[in-house]
Amino acid sequence: MKRVLQIALGIVTSVGGFLEIGSIATAAQAGAGFGYRLAWSIVIGTACIAFLVEMSGRFAACSGRTIPDALRERFGGPAFLAVLAVMLCVSILVLGAEMGGASAALQLATGIALRWWVVPIALLAWLILWRGTFGIIENGVSLLGLVTVVFVVAALHGGPDYRAFAHGLVPRLPAHRPAHYWFVAVSVLGASISPYLYYFYSSGAIEDKWDVSYLAVNRWVAGIGMGFGGLLSLAVLVCAAIVLGPSGGDVQGYRDLSRLTTTILGRPGFWLFVAALGIACLGATLEIALSLAYLLAQGFGWEWGEDLEPRRSARFSITYSIIIAIGAVIALAGADPLTLTNLSMALTAASLPVGVLPFLVLMNDRAYLGDHTNGLLGNVVVLVISLLAMVLGVISIPLQIAGS
C-alpha cells in the first residue's frame, strides 16, 4: 500500500511539475504556427525525457550516487568542468526565462509591468529554498502545479480536429516556413528534454534515500508521470492550434498565451492560466536553481542537501542564492522574454549530447549499476533523439536568427 501511494504521489508530482514556460511557449508556438503538424516533436521529446528520468532514478537507486558525482569520478575533473560549463550557461538562460514567465503571470494578473515582479519572484524562490525542505519543493509546488491540467480541459472543450491531430503525430516535412518549423521543433525538444529535470530527479532520489527496492516505483513514476506531462504539452499545442492557428499568426507575447484558455473557457480560463503559468514557472525556477547547486556541490565534493540547514552546507546554499540572482539579472536585462525562452530552449536541445552521452556511458557501466544497466531500447531512443536535437539545433538556430 505504501508503494502504491509513493507511485501515485510520484506520478502526480511529475505531472504537476512537468509544464514550465519553455514547454508552454514552444508548444503554443508550434500550434499557432503549424497547427497540429508538430505534435510529433512533443511525443519524441516526452519519450526521451521519460527514458532519461527513469535512467537517472535507476542510477541513483542502484549505485547510491548522483549523476555529477559519478561523472566526475568516471570521466575526471576536466571533463566534468566542460559539462558543468555548458550546463551552467544553458540552464541559467532557461532560469532567466522561467523567472520572466513567473513575472509575466503576475503582470497579467495585476497589470503592473513584468520587470517590477522579477525581484519579488527571485526573493520568493530564494526564501522557499533557504527555509524550505526538499519535500516542500518536490511535493508542495508540484501538487499546486496540477492547475496546469486546465490546458487539457480547454483542449477537450475546444473541439479539436482529432484526425488532423493524429496526422500530426507522424513527423512530416513542413508545408511552409521550413526554417521556423525546424526551429520550433528544436525548441519543443529542448523544452521537453531539460537536463535539469533528470539531474534534479537523481538528486531527489538520493535525498529520499532510494535503493533497489524503488526500481518499480521509479519505472512507474517516470513512465506514467512523464507520459501525462507530455499530454499537458500536447494540450497546449491543441489549444494554440484551435485559438491562434486559424489567424495563422505567431505567439507575440504572454497575452497571446493567455488567450489559449481564455478564448475557450472564458474568464475562469484566464485566471486558471495565470495560476498555471505562475506556479509552473516558479516550480521550474526552484528546480533549476537547486539542480545547478547540486551539480556544483556534488561535482566538487561539498556538503549538500536541501534538507540541511544553510549553515551546514554554506557553499551549496550560497550557490543557489547566486544562481537565482544571476537568473533575475538575465530576466531584467531587457531581452524579450519569449525570445529568451525560445533561444534558451533551442540551445538546450543543441547542447543535449554534452550531458546525455557521458550519462549513457555511466548507464551501461556494471561497476555502478550491476545487473541493472541499460537495455538496447533505452540507449537507442535517448542517443538518437539527443543527436537529432543537436543536429536540428545546430542547423536551425543560425537560420532562425538570420531569418528574423
Partner 1 sequence: MIGHPEHLVADVLDEQLVDGTHRNAGRVDGVIAAIRPGRPPRIVAVEVGAVTLAARVSRRLAAWIARADRRLTGRQAPVRIPWDALRYRDRYLQFDADVDATPINAVEQWLRVHVIERGRR
Among 311, 334, 377, 402, binds partner 1 (CB under 8 A): 311
From the number of C-beta atoms within 10 Å of its C-beta (0-12, 13-18, 19+), residue 71 rates as: buried
Based on the shown chain and the rule CB under 8 A, indicate whether residue 334 belongs to the binding site for partner 1: no
Instruction: Return the number of the residue (4 or 89) whose C-beta is nearest partner 1.
Output: 89
Based on the shown chain and the rule CB under 8 A, indicate whether residue 315 belongs to the binding site for partner 1: yes
The least CB distance from residue 73 to partner 1, in Å, is 5
For 370, phi then psi, to 5°, come to: 60, -125
The least CB distance from residue 289 to partner 1, in Å, is 17
Stretch that binds partner 1, among 271-279, 281-289, 314-322, 333-341 (CB under 8 A): 314-322
From the number of C-beta atoms within 10 Å of its C-beta (0-12, 13-18, 19+), residue 249 rates as: exposed
Stretch that binds partner 1, among 214-222, 230-238, 313-321, 370-378 (CB under 8 A): 313-321
| Site pattern 33..72 for partner 1 (x: CB under 8 A) | -------------------------------xx---x--x
Q: SS3 for 351?
A: coil
Q: Cα 351 from chain centroid?
A: 14
The least CB distance from residue 93 to partner 1, in Å, is 23
Query: Could you please report the per-residue DSSP string of 104-162?
Result: HHHHHHH---THHHHHHHHHHHHHHHHH--HHIIIIIIHHHGGGGGHHHHHHHHT---H
Based on the shown chain and the rule CB under 8 A, indicate whether residue 320 belongs to the binding site for partner 1: no
Q: What is the number of other CB atoms lying within 10 angstroms of the CB of residue 76? A: 10
The least CB distance from residue 127 to partner 1, in Å, is 13
Based on the shown chain and the rule CB under 8 A, indicate whether residue 202 belongs to the binding site for partner 1: no
How far apart, in whole angstroms, are the C-alpha atoms of residue 319 and residue 303? 12
Instruction: Return the number of the residue (69 or 287) whose C-beta is nearest partner 1.
Output: 69
Nearest-10 crossing angle of helices 67-75, 267-300: 40
The least CB distance from residue 133 to partner 1, in Å, is 18
The least CB distance from residue 92 to partner 1, in Å, is 20
Instruction: Return the number of the residue (270 or 300) whose C-beta is nearest partner 1.
Output: 300
| Site pattern 161..180 for partner 1 (x: CB under 8 A) | --------------------
Evaluate whether 158 touches 237 at the Cβ level (below 8 Å). Answer: no
Q: What is the number of other CB atoms lying within 10 angstroms of the CB of residue 255? A: 12
| Site pattern 282..301 for partner 1 (x: CB under 8 A) | ------------------xx
| Site pattern 337..376 for partner 1 (x: CB under 8 A) | ------------------------------xx--------
The least CB distance from residue 292 to partner 1, in Å, is 17
Cell digits of residue 201: 530527479
The least CB distance from residue 132 to partner 1, in Å, is 16
The least CB distance from residue 339 to partner 1, in Å, is 32
How far apart, in whole angstroms, are the C-alpha atoms of residue 113 and residue 102? 12
Those residues whose C-beta lies under 8 Å from the C-beta of residue 403, and which sit 6 or more positions away, are: 179, 180
Stretch that binds partner 1, among 88-96, 112-120, 260-268, 306-314 (CB under 8 A): 306-314
The helix (run of H) or strand (run of E) holding residue 256 is helix 254-265
Query: For 165, how many CA atoms within 13 A lie in the half-sphere containing its CB?
Result: 18
Based on the shown chain and the rule CB under 8 A, indicate whether residue 310 belongs to the binding site for partner 1: yes
Cell digits of residue 37: 503538424
Evaluate whether 150 touches 276 at the Cβ level (below 8 Å). Answer: yes
Query: Could you please report the per-residue DSSP string of 48-66?
Result: HHHHHHHHHHHHHHHHS--
| Site pattern 81..120 for partner 1 (x: CB under 8 A) | x---------------------------------------
The least CB distance from residue 67 to partner 1, in Å, is 14
- The residue ranges that bind partner 1 (CB under 8 A) are 64-65, 69, 72-73, 76-78, 80-81, 300-304, 310-311, 314-315, 317-318, 367-368
